[in-house]
Amino acid sequence: MLAFTDLERQTPKKRDADARRGDFGEIYAPFEAAAARAQASRCSQCGVPFCQNHCPLTNDIPDWLRLAAEGRLKEAYTLSAATNSMPEICGRICPQDRLCEGACVIEQSGHGTVTIGAIEQFITETAWNEGWVEPVAPGPSNGRTVGIIGAGPAGLAAAEELIKAGAGVTIYDRYDRAGGLLVYGIPNFKLDKAVIARRVARLEAAGVEFRLGVDIGRDVTFAALRARHDAVLIATGVYRARRLDLDGEDGAGVAPALDYLTRSNRLGLGDVVEGAEGHDARGRDVVVIGGGDTAMDCVRTAVRQGAASVTCLYRRDRANMPGSARETAHAEEEGVRFEFLAGPARLIFKDGAVVGVEAQRMMLGARDASGRAAVEADAAQAFRLPAALVIKALGFEPENLPAMFGEPQLKVTARGTLRVRPGSLETSLPGVFAAGDIVRGASLVVWAIKDGRDAAHQIIEMATGSRRTLIAAE
């Protein structure tokens, strides 16, 4: 170990920007075994592992890096999988620059971080290839059943822990495929859909039942679901797009980010998508409004669809962008133009369709309650951008679940997220738990995985009587 004094940071080979603009394939080649081992050997084996402390799952990163450096990959995988339900997915899509790698001690000392995410992906992909990823082993049946609403990362992570504890698990999801935003919200160039499909298949083989195309509150009442199961976990995520509050934002050529990404992903999966041509960037000038990871997914998707030009309009500066700096760099390499300190003032239409965005320059002011710099518009500095497709990527808010589920006793916070009991993920309804974005607001996949695992363990405690008996709805 401690090879960082001799070896520089190295990432897996990245495809040339010109090549990757032409398809939706993942942009990084797999790490070669020798390179992965060498990079893992750069770890300084800190007495206080800040990388682990900055991982929501508190993955034992230094130990599995040491095992990888020693060539003990099967042991490294076993250790990694002990705390993470989907390490190869986190290795691909976690913003490591804001989490583990950003806290790496050798990064702080100027030597360049250990490539933790790429090594994590390499370890688990090796495990899949070598047959080390064993089937989920269901525990002895405890006679209890749990219904999970949402087949995204929180729901999938919870299902695995519950089935191992002997519970019967049924996952309900309104989409026609399991995976949630992993399938429909994240483009293939970041996460190939086959990676998700094999995780879902592993759960199915263990006995998890997936009931897809089922909308709770419409196809099945929430009360019926509670009566059917001993516990219910709500892991719906947050899907309601924030609005621009501009005239015409629902007009032709203006699309919410998730609608745009979902159509693109469906087409990539071979689905027939009605109205997809209205969200096709080919030959169009595209403006994406927003600066988070979803905005980066949109601009990079538009590039691959063959847009004439792609501009990202963001009201703060680069330093204040909420998304991963790595994703922003990828977008710039692929030809995306960034207009920082600029916000939309008006959408311009001609013959009923959007043709441009009138924008204003912004100035950073004092920090607001969130700790981020507030922005003020400078009306004297206005400019126009041509746009035949405008994509709104301003973030997501919770849907009104009490109304959708017909359950007014399901309490929410002022933000609309589900209220849970202090120190627990149990909601205001006994035996009903919640996990992921629907509790914490729009966040990261790794946090959803943590919440799903935590909720499952709390449900298991109730099922085994170590806290109290599960309460089913009367």
- Express each pLDDT in 422-464 by its tens digit: 999 999 999 999 999 999 999 999 999 999 999 999 999 987 6
Average pLDDT (236-258) is: 95
Average pLDDT (195-206) is: 98
**How many angstroms separate the Cα of 130 from the Cα of each of 21, 88, 112?**
32, 14, 31
**Contact assessment for residue 163 and residue 136, using Cβ atoms and an 8 Å cutoff:** yes
What is the radius of gyration, based on Cα positions, of the chain?
23
Domains 145-238+398-463 and 241-392 equal at CATH topology level: yes
DSSP string across 294-329: HHHHHHHHHHHTT-SEEEEE-SS-GGG-SS-HHHHH
Longest dimension (CA), the chain: 70
**Contact assessment for residue 148 and residue 42, using Cβ atoms and an 8 Å cutoff:** no
Q: What is the pLDDT of residue 278?
A: 77
Q: Measured between alpha carbons, how far is 135 from 131 in angstroms, rounded to an integer?
A: 10
The second-level CATH assignment, the architecture, of 145-238+398-463 is 3-Layer(bba) Sandwich (3.50)
**322: CB partners within 8 A, 6+ apart:** 291, 292, 293
Q: What is the pLDDT of residue 18?
A: 95
Q: Measured between alpha carbons, how far is 247 from 243 in angstroms, rounded to an integer?
A: 11
Going by CATH, does the domain composed of 241-392 fall within 3.50.50.60? Answer: yes
Q: Is the pLDDT of residue 345 over 80?
A: yes
**Contact assessment for residue 177 and residue 108, using Cβ atoms and an 8 Å cutoff:** no
- Express each pLDDT in 397-418 by its tens digit: 999 999 999 999 999 999 999 9
- Kindly report which listed range (124-138, 239-253, 271-285) carries the lowest average pLDDT score: 271-285
Query: What residue spans of 165-292 are helical by DSSP H?
Result: 181-184, 193-206, 222-228, 257-268
pLDDT level of residue 71 (50, 70, 90 thresholds): very high
**How many angstroms separate the Cα of 306 from the Cα of each of 34, 228, 299?**
37, 49, 11
Q: Is the pLDDT of residue 298 over 90?
A: yes
Q: What is the pLDDT of residue 462?
A: 84
Average pLDDT (51-66) is: 95
Q: Measured between alpha carbons, how far is 90 from 96 in angstroms, rounded to an integer?
A: 9
Fold of 3-130: Fumarate Reductase Iron-sulfur Protein; Chain B, domain 2 (1.10.1060)
Burial of 111 from C-beta contacts in 10 A (0-12 / 13-18 / 19+): middle
Q: What is the pLDDT of residue 468?
A: 40
Average pLDDT (71-79) is: 97
Sequence spans of domains, the chain = 3-130, 145-238+398-463, 241-392
Beta bridge partners of 378: 361
Average pLDDT (194-216) is: 97
- Express each pLDDT in 83-117 by its tens digit: 999 999 999 999 999 999 999 998 888 888 999 99
Q: Is the pLDDT of residue 337 over 60?
A: yes
**How many angstroms separate the Cα of 264 from the Cα of each of 183, 259, 272, 273, 301?**
11, 9, 11, 9, 8
